[in-house]
Amino acid sequence: MSDIETISFKAINVYINEDYLETVLKSVLTGIKKLPKQAQIEFVAFMRKYATVLGFRDPSRAPLTLQVNALAKALRVRMRLFPMFSASGQRSTRNSPARSKPG
pLDDT at residue 95, rounded to an integer:
43
pLDDT at residue 93, rounded to an integer:
46
Tell me, what DSSP letter sits at residue 94?
T
How crowded is residue 68: how many other Cβ atoms within 10 Å of its Cβ? 20
pLDDT at residue 10, rounded to an integer:
64
pLDDT at residue 90, rounded to an integer:
42
Which one, of 30, 78, 20, lies nearest residue 52 by Cα? 78
pLDDT at residue 68, rounded to an integer:
94
- Profile the chain (103 residues) by mean pLDDT over runs of 10 residues: 60 75 91 91 89 91 94 78 41 44 47
| Nearby residues of 30 by Cβ (< 8 Å), 6 or more positions away | 64
